[in-house]
Amino acid sequence: MWLNKIVQIFKIKDLRNKILFVLGVFALFRLMANIPVPGIATEKLREFFEGNQLFGLLNMLSGGAMDNLSVVMLGLGPYITATIIMQLLTMIFPQLEKMYKEEGEQGRQKFNQYGRILAVPLAILQGYGMLTIFQRQQLIESLSPSLLAISLLTVTAGSLFLMWLGELVSEKGIGNGVSLLIFAGIIADFPNNIRQMVATWDPAQLPSYLLFFSMSLIIVAGVVLINEGRRNIPVSYAKRVRGAKMYGGVSTYLPLNINPAGVIPIIFALSIMLFPGMIANFLGGAGGTVGAVAKTIGNAFQDPWIHGILYFILVVLFTYFYTAVTFDPKAISTNLQKMGGFIPGIRPGESTAHFMYYILNRVLLIGALFLGGIALMPTIVGAVTGVMVFKFLIGGTALLIVVSVVLDTLRQIKAQLEMREYETF
């Protein structure tokens, strides 16, 4: 069945071109991820990323572009952070909220343009901070002011180029471009994980490995179950007579995802958690009270308990925040009322909106706690089984991103196939 689907996909010229375009962008991304900035102590850099949990996770999401100190070492972090800031500002400035929600496609394009502009200073700030940290840790050679400026310009341009590639994939390819590039970065690190597992294989640890893979399979099943889980809200439509024809009178349902925010809250939380640790490391070399406070903050972010608790809280908060920005029960209630739809037993209008808020908050609690638990899963599984290799390959953040992106892309491909089959029929 799947073989027939694959053959069918490549028989359709438009769909085949979209998939080949995405694969071509992946190849270009991987090529750039292996073009380094000059003057690197490669082994020291890799040891640093292996020993630092936050930077190690960011390196994994960039497909190893950071431990190579490549021209795209910043990845899509600045653009994602700019998007977070812009969406937070919609809660402060009503004009921005109106532009994003009420002015249609033109308003969203203008809003996205502001996000792109904001990504430039953020990329410069993040690039300067990282290069300074790496110099102080003696992970790269000391850069002269001119070479530092060139390196900074290079990594900033690389980040903006990735942002452009992501939007190009969304426009001309299939699926969400930013998510697909993050997915490509994770997948690119799989061979390294497999090689690490083979290199550290110990037959005496076979029970631990079996327990590890058993827990991993349970995690995979849980991710798919929650990611595809829905709470169906029944909706009925009143009968309407127009001329000689009768419309409506049917019953359907409004699907409400258990995890409506997808993987976005985890990506947001990672981007936000990067800055305090990075600034603390940056100021750690300063003397006096500032240096002492910065070192204390930096050490706190290295503590697994503090890091885990903050990470969990941020993921839960961003799940609620992102859902509040993208899902508006009041607007859905108004649209249902205009189309003659209603929820059985609930009055149309304000009562319907309150009912949907009630259902959403109950469902969202499960989704938010699940996302927070998945974010901490690599550490938990490693502590229980004692197997720390392969920890980003199965379970946790990487798995959720991979599963979400694969399911979403397959759903879009299936929709394209069904649309063309319908046209043929």
Q: What is the mean pLDDT of the chain?
A: 76
Question: What is the model's pLDDT at position 2?
Answer: 60
Query: In whole angstroms, what is the distance from residue 425 CA to residue 421 CA?
Result: 6
Token pair for residue 248? 């409506």
32-57 pLDDT, tens digit per residue, is: 888 877 655 556 666 666 666 566 66
Q: With beta carbons less than 8 A apart as the criterion, state whether 135 and 283 touch.
A: no
Query: In whole angstroms, what is the distance from residue 59 CA to residue 42 CA?
Result: 14
CATH topology of domain 1-188: Preprotein translocase SecY subunit (1.10.3370)
Question: What is the model's pLDDT at position 87?
Answer: 79
Q: For residue 74, count CB atoms less than 10 angstroms from its CB and return exposed for 0-12, middle for 13-18, buried for 19 or more.
A: buried
Complete edge-to-edge strand list for the sheet that includes strand 251-257: 251-257, 230-237, 341-342
Give the global pTM.
0.73
Question: What is the model's pLDDT at position 393?
Answer: 44
Mean pLDDT of 159-185: 85
Return all residues near 357 (Cβ < 8 A) that are at least 6 apart. 329
Neighbouring-strand partners of residue 241 = 246
Helix, strand, or coil (residue 85): helix
392-403 pLDDT, tens digit per residue, is: 444 456 777 777
Q: With beta carbons less than 8 A apart as the criterion, state whether 174 and 22 touch.
A: yes
407-420 pLDDT, tens digit per residue, is: 778 878 887 777 76
Phi and psi angles of residue 246, each rounded to the nearest 5 degrees, phi first: -115, 130
Return all residues near 252 (Cβ < 8 A) that are at least 6 apart. 234, 235, 236, 237
State the amino acid at position 227 in one-letter form. N
| Residue 150, CA distances (Å) to 37, 124, 127, 154 in order | 10, 12, 11, 6
Question: What is the model's pLDDT at position 382?
Answer: 62
Per-residue pLDDT at 228 exceeds 60: yes
Q: Range with the lowest mean pLDDT among 71-85, 115-129, 258-272?
A: 258-272
Q: For residue 148, count CB atoms less than 10 angstroms from its CB and return exposed for 0-12, middle for 13-18, buried for 19 or more.
A: middle
